[in-house]
Amino acid sequence: MERYYRTPLHPTECRAEVAIWSRYPLQTEEVDTNVPCRVLSVVLDFDGHPVRVINVHAWPFTGLDRESVERSFRWRREQIALALDTATEQPEPLIFLGDMNSTPTHEVYRMLSAHLTDAFREAGWGLGHTWPATGGRFWGIPHPSRLVRIDHIFHSQHWQGEAAWVGAWDGRSDHHPVVARLRLLPRAEAVSTNPPPLHSRKDV
pLDDT in tens, the chain (204 residues): 567 888 866 555 556 678 899 999 988 765 554 555 688 889 999 988 999 999 999 988 766 677 777 888 888 898 899 889 888 888 999 999 999 999 999 999 999 999 999 999 999 999 999 999 998 887 788 888 999 999 999 999 999 999 999 999 999 999 999 999 999 998 735 554 444 444 333 333
Q: What is the pLDDT of residue 96?
A: 97
Q: Is 52 helix (H, G, I), strand (E, B) or coil?
A: strand
Give residue 33's identity as a one-letter amino acid code.
Answer: T
d(CA 146, CA 176): 8
Q: What is the pLDDT of residue 192?
A: 43
Rounded alpha-carbon distances, angstroms, from residue 6 to 22, 43, 44: 6, 12, 11
What does pTM read for this prediction?
A: 0.84
- The torsion angles phi and psi of 55, rounded to 5 degrees, stand at -110, 130
Q: What is the pLDDT of residue 35?
A: 52
What does the chain come to in residues?
A: 204
d(CA 19, CA 92): 20
Domains in the chain: boundaries:
5-200
- The torsion angles phi and psi of 178, rounded to 5 degrees, stand at -110, 135
Q: Are 18 and 39 in contact (CB under 8 A)?
A: yes
Burial 86-97 (b: 16+ CB within 10 A, else e): bbbebebbbbbb
Q: What is the pLDDT of residue 16?
A: 61
Q: Domain 5-200: give its CATH code.
A: 3.60.10.10
Burial 128-162 (b: 16+ CB within 10 A, else e): bbbbbbeeeeeeeeeeeebebbbbbbbbbbbbbbe
